Structure 1
């Protein structure tokens, strides 16, 4: 049997044909029932293109109607008497023009579900909480990630929103970044493919998904004023390539520009990024909206179309100041009409006008939770398993579960992406010194109770881990000790040192000293340091596992699910291995009393951030500098074993064989890397794909390499030199098979824009 996987150009077909093939560890899931209903017949306007409809509508709009579309108001500031029926209570609102068939825009955060920070925006209104984006990326499964996107989009429109501020595809350059859990990976191919799949799934529900934060929003410290200094080639080959691939696959309706500056110009008024790259080179035809408070001038001519988060319509830069600029001639009517047309055209293209949203639509929460569980199960990464301690033996009679509120649920990250889960949070704790709507939440899925369900014959005791001596005593009398360790990450805060907070390193060391059969389950927002790694035989990275995360974790530990997750980021052995060992701007911060969190520094002096790695982000930096990480990008163990062989490369076509040579059914994640070009060592992921195999089964896998992954950006375009190229199959970015050498001819080309077309549901 031959399996063709992950050619970027064929991903849409893959998503379309395989939507129901979601998980070997949970029942197949059909597209959510809360998706927009299909009309019996297309409306009369459907025979007219979105561009023609937009041009006709804009020609009939008044100036006030046009200018109102260029601002998104904080919904909390809109009196209920002025909200039309059907507007969901979210973070942003823009009135429509009903007489012309132009709908309002109602916006909700964010990338992990229909967000509701702390449950206060819509009191106790629950949605399905997906695992973190980093957990989803660990599946290396675009079909399943696309199903998660479709589920999010369906719940979004059922709650009355038609814009979801999703699509976080920033590369993980800085492992201490507080928002890494919202992003997918450190690699442009993996990030672009998975981000595009999520966006495509969201928009299949006739709503708009953004793609964000464009671009190089790699840390929270000083995010509103820091200046990233980086050359064009480094951007094009890394961060911009991730956005480009995601744009080509997902065709997002809107781009959200970031807070930071890039080469001394704020992203939301950066003519090079917004006009030259995004629109000219890539052919993007949606609209650009700002992050909340991310506008610093009347920048409509620089590529920004809509200012977000204004306190009242007519205020701020795209309010009276825009009117004044128009009167003075520094802004033209043509520029205003162009931005309005982009917004209206996208509404028509994605079906917002013809399939209006309305709150109160049906949601099958059980079905949606099964998608979340599948993502959590496939995204769990078995990092270490000395002596095959896992899966836990069914004969274990006494299991000690320790720490991280594992008795009640699994944690989530904080900030604008935080979802109030269906059924309510199991635990909601305040953040010292922070606003009431910023909370630490635990999803209502207890690992302790799920383990009791997996091991009904065992005595399972729990200790909260606050006293290491007491926890060690409990662990010593158990057959197996499982320590849950968590790390809270949130928008607005970065980690300073990647250590587990609250003395959890000491807790793990104490338990491991008391019981040599200790398993550590990490619930983190990203990479952490592990000073105890040599004393612990088994380590599982569960990330923020979402709505049914406790169930997913227990099923992996018990062996009901064979772990198949692979790391989408590198875990450093020390901070000294990082390109920037000290977090830029960290010298200006002050910790909150009684907390590892802090207030972001004020702009007292310029904060210049450079990235010594350039385009060699993450695992490429480690390969380039010869550093050995703690755990490599792409690493992940299984309860079975796989053999890959017969690597063949012909032009840009690659084939190889995968066989399950172990005792259990499982999934392998095949990774193909470029390891040398004309004798010079390189390390670039050029293809990947999951293969589910029964014991003894084998498949031939084929894929097509995107030539941009073999090329460099030079002189305004891509340049792929002629010569010898070496490729290797990898179990990770550091464990490689025997390379295969092929000769390729030289190629140079400019970006060929991929025009957005009609988006069909996956």
Structure 2
């Protein structure tokens, strides 16, 4: 009875919040309608067309008010409508090859590292930090909010995205967007949708059923949009079930604008528009027009709207949606201007805190970590650990002042070749951070280019720390999950020479670890951002108790993936634009796994991964007890049973439904506890994760549902079974 009363109270509160949100939403929409009605015919296409504002391969004469950055859309001064100045991306204000000469920006750790924190509040702080820097530099649109699910760890943009689970990704992406937009600027969410690989990205066709899409990738977007209320949605390059994502009636008009009642606008990705009728199919703004065949949404759209009532009505709606996003985020009331003050020290502390909480301890044999600061001889090997911090490539590249500390070319002479270089942040190198932590130790460094030299150093050391890197970039997928440039062989040889070998991985995705059992410890540091060196050292020496948990599954082999061979890998030439040859096609069948992405696929196939979703070790220990659930919420007790403070991520999974075995993450909570402390935790269960999508609505079948509390997707406690009645609801 108490549970039912609480549920009723929550429902009443939700209605009140919903009503309040609706009234707040009405004001900017009414203002958008009023402004649109005042537009002159010559002004009506202004907000629908944007340029790419960086001179990659072409001379760009920036219009007044434009900045070197991702894009620019002129405003309408007569009506007080500001211009839109756009910058990439989810990890900070993109460097744009240094064209702005504005001192760089603070790089957050990669998107998958944000996912590894499992901490919405921290991610929100990170979003607020990068959004604040965007505003200070004169940008009022940030192309952030990457939430595509990791369907294949070889995807070159895995590092930009949050993870593989729709609930986890949606909650954290929504938090990032909320943080960015707290600065009175617009954040996008991207890339809508099913944009799962870079190989053939401009022409591949993602094939998937409506139900599977709604229960996986689209659910991630839906949750993130509900939580973050992004001003704009960026559609992807790929096709979905035969139609280009930016001209996809189903995705844009049916799902986004009708079912989800989204009021903001849809902008194209740069070079993703090839017809004017994309406007009728739901696209509101053509971006980076230089990369498209022509400016479809400029004079042509204006002329067509003058004679065709259908296009006239659509153009009015396009303007209202863009204006709504401007007014909802108060861009007009809080105009941006370059040259704002940035507290670089405070922002660096935010980036470091994210890095500290994102690092995942994967192995710690015999408690070799944390290292004693009294260690006498430490050999550091490989990974440019003496130079800087690895970062991901492409449009999301962020740099501190001075640009890269090292650049490794991956070839090519195209105008975009500069975006396809492996770059290291000009930050405190991990080697220097380690030396600062152990000032009395003899710390040597070898590049690892020559295995014999590295082995010799390892034999003469008490502790060996090998840094191993996997670089990822937009535009190119990984061929497999091995470490490039012979690093697996390097680790094997060093670990054979010294069993106290610790591996620090700077990767954008999962990697194979054939050497795992011969190492003493392994930590996954991802691309740890502008203060990554300090964060890594703080975990190695125990100033920080690692609390990161994997947001993606590390498969035991490629044969565990739904597609062991990456589609198109033998027929599509890797390049940044991914254009392929004229007429080339590529279909990726996501109905193989459907909504069973990552750990869900493993559960379905009874696979045991190398490391599952949610995995991560600590320097302390935790106990879980008293798990109870009514299918609406779950309660349990967490106790820190170790000798030092730490944090864990409690995870609640659905394990069975009336139709059989079905594993789904339904709730999670990061919990920080002092040594010996215990806490009662209550978490709400996301009912859409329990349900099926059928007949254009969510449906819960009547019958028994089993739930379990776990440390990760493959280590679950005893199940609790509850019977749920039939129910259904609109999207």
How far 1:331 moved relative to its partner?
Answer: 4.5
RMSD over equivalenced CA pairs, Å:
2.2
TM norm structure 1: 0.89
Residue 412 (structure 2) aligns with: 433
Provide the residue aligned with 1:513 in structure 2.
Answer: 496
Query: 1:32 is matched with which residue?
Result: none
| SS of alignment partner, residue 712 of structure 2 | coil
Aligned to 2:152: 174
**Separation (CA, whole Å) in 1 of partners of 2:582 and 2:206:** 15
1:541, 1:380 → 2: CA distance?
6
Is 1:480 the equivalent of 2:460? Answer: no
Shift of 1:315: 4.5
Q: How does 1:43-442 map to 2 (within 5 A)?
A: 49-76=27-54, 83-85=63-65, 87-117=66-96, 119-123=97-101, 125-298=103-276, 299-311=278-290, 315-326=294-305, 329=308, 331-422=310-401, 424-434=403-413, 435-438=416-419, 439-442=421-424
Change (3 A) 1:141 1:219: same
Give how far 1:120 is off: 2.8
Distance 1:591 1:275, change over 3 A: closer
Provide the C-alpha distance between the structure 2 equivalents of 1:158 and 1:234, rounded to a whole number of angstroms: 42
Task: State the alpha-carbon separation in 1 of the partners of residues 717 and 466 from structure 2.
Answer: 35
Deviation at 1:160, TM superposition (A): 0.3
Deviations 1:229-277 (A, max 9, x none): 1000000000000000000000000000000000000011111110111
SS of structure 2 residue aligned to 1:505 = helix
Structure-2 change in CA distance of 1:600 and 1:398 (3 Å): farther
5 Å-filtered alignment, 1:558-637, equals 558-590=541-573, 601-611=580-590, 612-637=592-617
1:64 Cα shift? 2.0
Offset at 1:328?
5.9
Equivalent residues of 2:171, 2:223 under 8 A apart? yes
Q: Is the 8 A contact 1:313 1:319 kept in 2?
A: no
Given that 2:658 and 2:704 are in contact with CA atoms closer than 8 Å, whether structure 1 keeps it comes out as yes
2:640 is aligned with 1:640: no
Q: Conserved in 2, the CA contact under 8 Å of 1:569 and 1:632?
A: yes
User: Is the CA contact (8 Å cut-off) linking 2:51 and 2:72 kept in structure 1?
Assistant: yes
Q: How many residues align?
A: 704
Asked if the contact 1:68–1:313 (Cα under 8 Å) also holds between the matched residues in 2, the reply is no
Residue 49 (structure 1) shift: 1.9
Distance change in 2, residues 1:653/1:598 (3 Å): closer
**Residue number in structure 2 paired with 1:743:** 723
Question: Residue 746 of structure 1: CA displacement?
Answer: 1.3
Is 1:663–2:643 an aligned residue pair?
yes
Ranges in structure 1 where 5+ consecutive residues have no aligned partner:
1-6, 14-45, 752-762
- Check the 8 A contact 1:178/1:219 in 2, yes or no: yes
Q: CA deviation at 1:599?
A: 6.9
Mean Cα displacement is larger for which, 239-248 or 444-453? 444-453
Q: CA deviation at 1:344?
A: 1.1
Cα gap change, 1:81 to 1:223, in 2 (>3 Å): closer
Q: Which has the higher contact order (CA 8 A, sep 6+)?
A: 1
Sort the Cα spacing of 1:47 and 1:571 in 2 relative to 1 into closer, same or farther, 3 A. closer
Secondary structure of residue in 2 paired with 1:138: helix
344-353 or 215-224, which deviates more? 344-353
1:495-525 CA distance string (max 9 Å, x none)? 0111100000110011001000000100001
Q: CA deviation at 1:127?
A: 0.2
Q: Tell me the SS of whatever aligns to 1:318.
A: helix
Relative to structure 1, is the Cα distance of residues 663 and 531 closer, same or farther in structure 2, using a 3 angstrom cutoff? same
Return the alpha-carbon distance in structure 2 between the equivalents of residues 661 and 314 of structure 1.
Answer: 63
Work out the CA distance in 2 between the residues paired with 1:470 and 1:150: 45
What is the aligned partner in structure 2 of residue 756 from structure 1? none
Matched, 1:691 2:674: no
Q: Distance in 2 between matches of 1:720 and 1:705?
A: 13
Residues in 2 aligned to 1:455 and 1:433: alpha-carbon distance in whole angstroms:
42
Offset of 1:322 from its aligned partner? 2.3
